[in-house]
Structure 1
Amino acid sequence: MTANFEDWDAVVTQPSACAATAKPAYGVGSASDQGTMLRDAHTPTPKAVISMPVDAADKRVVNGQADINQLAPFKYPWAWSFFLNANSNHWTPLEISMAQDVHDYQHTLTPAERHVFENVLAYLTTSDILAMRNIGLAVMEKMSAPELQIYQARQVYEEALHTWTYQHCIETLGLDQREIYNRYRVVPEIHGKIALANRRLHGVLQSGRPLSDRDALHEFAMAYLFFAAVFEGCWFYNGFSPVFALQRRGLMKGAAEQLQYIMRDEVLHCAFGIRVVRQLLDEENLTLDPQALRQMWDEAEAAETAYAGYILHEPILGYNARLHIEQFRYVANRRARQLGLAEPFPGATNMLPWLDEQANLRKEKNFFETRVTEYQTGGALVWE
């Protein structure tokens, strides 16, 4: 069966049923409730019951009152499936040779192509660190079902792995690390996307406002939606395209293969986040403000337009800023549909029909040219 990683999108159209009315949290009772282990040194007494069983139906995405330490029974079995599949997708950048990439970068790429490649790396490495911190320090803390947190723990690792991958490319190619890593601070068009993400994710990072407050809950939902659908679902998904355009011409194939593995991870991150948002809206009977959604898409498009204008101020063979922006709009429409929302850019055209194929890279290689464990890891993937 040919795997299509975007098939995970179908999952988000089947949200789980709403949770039953939450029951009070179960915890360790008072000393009087617990009783004593032994009433008499010579007369054994049964242990007192110190807590009551937990019902999985009491789990919720946020504001849950069930036991956060009790993994099963699952309320969200789909989250566990995401975790299992993510672990089957294990890889590291050291598995992929970049010897030809070094030659391509030094002797084959035009100045315009080097400009594109370097700035894509500069943006992505900053973004993945931001994603790692957002999930690890903010989102996980607010999730109240352990099966959600466990997949997100894997997601934190994967964002760190992606950052390692960009560093591996930067170091292998002999780029000036100080200069590359500072570009998001000094290049306005790259800084604009990072600054917008930081501002949009502020609603997730806040810890002082309880999500039982409806305004705070709406802000959290909008922030997490931005992270899943725009930051990872559009900006990351579309952000690898310039390097894939080089790969299609036989250039920078090692770096592009690594980005294919990253893209495969990001498709799952996006699908998981969208599923969580849909579950959250369903459980909390929450409706997103249409004006807030419109502003989110407009800001994201403006930032992506400025970024594309910078990295592609000189078009490269087979790729230009116009293609990049139209593809962003097309992917944004897809993410909106997955969320059950109106398309923000009606009529946008799929300018890069080959882009989805990049997420479907099979990890198997010639058995005699790779490690047995690598072959088995790739072969174990199941994408339904």
Structure 2
Amino acid sequence: MLNWEDPLATRPAAPAQPQAGNAEARADEAAKAPAPARAEAEELSAKPVNPDDKRVVNGLTDVNQLAPFKYPWAWNYFLNANKNHWTPLDINMASDVHDYFHKLTLEERHVYENVLAYLTTSDILAMRNIGLAVMEKMSAPELQIYQARQVYEESLHTWTYQHCIETIGLDQGEIYNRYRVVPEIHAKIRIANRRLDSVLRPDIDLKDRDELMNFLMAYIFFAAVFEGSWFYNGFTPIFALQRRGLMKGTAEQLQYIMRDEVMHASFGIRVAKQIMLEENIRPDPKAIREMWDEAEAAESGYARYLLPDPILGYTAEMHSDQFRFVANRRAKQLGLEEPFPGAENAIEWLDEQANLRKEKNFFETRVTEYQTGGALSWD
């Protein structure tokens, strides 16, 4: 029987038992054994997993066996992500309610509402993409486990936006529908849906080079554009209010979210680079150029809608310039050509929002220490 102390140890041969009939008859009897019994015998005789056989996609090992690791960096992402935990209920929002109704201008309310309208829809889309399109394609469990945590974090982010909307007392039906009725918000969601929906199919054969290229392009878009640039840039208008002492509770919530998103984008970029290495594949430069141009046009249109008139300390031009600067950074991290040469850092204080270490007692709730996820290496 199976040795539970050392299941890989060679088991002693069972004592010979008298059996009727010759060897041919016994072999015929074994062949007639029920299929589950044969499957169980095959499972017990399976070879140990060789971590060298693991791959990001198209792996040759058992996806249920975590270790030995081939990608210890992916496991470290999971461990670090579990240090980064909060809930929106930990942060006091009382001053935000007062600010919204008594301090914000009409232009600043417009910015606040539409940032939340865009982000809450985007994080639901991100949750579905990771959970339904990406995670199941991974053939190494250490990758899947971090992405399972990522699905949870996207759900937490959605709760956070909903908590802000509800706490301020905004019309939830109206805010949540803006991604459908505001063309500049809908344009970004439509682009994301178009680029990501094609990999939501569970029957994709990633051994097919065309399918693999499509998956790689979708993953690069998701990591470098959607999370790495649009999300990273998307919190900035609220941080601009925070720098003037306004909407501080919402901004603090977004600081925590931003650190998760920095890790998501970093992980996605690393996975995309690993796929390129293992599968000996590179994205088509023309397709990459079209991706960045489309993303930049959508972001600039969104910026003009968000800020038809500037608010103190922030303009549509700053928002668009910062997108181009961040896009160059993401492209370099992927080992690709910068899409917007010469783009300058228009908002030098933005990186501080990801790198700050937060240690505080949330009004006699509990001490929350949020580790510096934004300070990680992108290599």
TM range (shorter): 0.7 to 0.9
Task: Measure, in 1, the Cα distance between the counterparts of 2:124 and 2:16.
Answer: 56
Task: Measure, in 1, the Cα distance between the counterparts of 2:269 and 2:337.
Answer: 15
Matched residue count = 342
Structure 1 residues 190 and 382, CA gap change in structure 2 (3 angstroms): closer
Kept after mapping to 2: 8 A contact 1:123/1:184: yes
Task: Measure, in 1, the Cα distance between the counterparts of 2:372 and 2:308.
Answer: 42
Aligned to 2:100: 105
Aligned to 2:322: 327
Shift of 1:65: 1.2
**Deviation string, structure 1 residues 133-171 (Cα, Å, up to 9, x no partner):** 000111001000000000000000000000000000000
| Match of residue 213, structure 2, among 205, 214, 218 | 218
Give the residue type in structure 2 aligned to 1:124: L
> Larger Cα Rg: Structure 1 or Structure 2?
2
Q: How do residues 1-384 of structure 1 correspond to structure 2 at under 5 angstroms? A: 40=17, 49-365=44-360, 370-371=364-365, 374-375=367-368, 377-378=369-370
Give the residue type in structure 2 aligned to 1:58: D
Secondary structure of the corresponding residue to residue 132 of structure 2: helix
TM-score normalised by structure 2 residue count: 0.86
Give the residue type in structure 2 aligned to 1:78: W
Give the residue type in structure 2 aligned to 1:112: E
Shift of 1:87: 0.3
Gap runs ≥5 in structure 2: 1-12, 19-40
RMSD in angstroms over aligned alpha carbons?
Answer: 2.1
Secondary structure of the corresponding residue to residue 206 of structure 1: coil
Secondary structure of the corresponding residue to residue 205 of structure 1: coil
Secondary structure of the corresponding residue to residue 88 of structure 1: coil
Structure 1 residues 354 and 38, CA gap change in structure 2 (3 angstroms): farther
Kept after mapping to 2: 8 A contact 1:204/1:224: no
**Deviation string, structure 1 residues 168-199 (Cα, Å, up to 9, x no partner):** 00000000000000000100000000000000
Shift of 1:50: 1.7
Secondary structure of the corresponding residue to residue 359 of structure 2: coil
Structure 1 residues 328 and 40, CA gap change in structure 2 (3 angstroms): same
Structure 1 residues 379 and 81, CA gap change in structure 2 (3 angstroms): closer
Aligned to 2:26: none
State which drifts further: 48-57 or 229-238.
Answer: 48-57
Task: Measure, in 1, the Cα distance between the counterparts of 2:45 and 2:234.
Answer: 53
Give the residue type in structure 1 aligned to 2:226: F
Give the residue type in structure 2 aligned to 1:234: S
Give the residue type in structure 1 aligned to 2:352: E
Identity %: 71
Shift of 1:207: 2.8
Q: Which structure has the higher relative contact order (CA within 8 Å, separation 6+)? A: 1
Kept after mapping to 1: 8 A contact 2:354/2:375: no
Kept after mapping to 2: 8 A contact 1:88/1:380: no
Shift of 1:382: 10
Task: Measure, in 2, the Cα distance between the counterparts of 1:256 and 1:89.
Answer: 17
Kept after mapping to 1: 8 A contact 2:97/2:168: yes
Secondary structure of the corresponding residue to residue 364 of structure 1: strand
Runs of 4+, deviation exceeding 6 Å: 36-39, 379-382
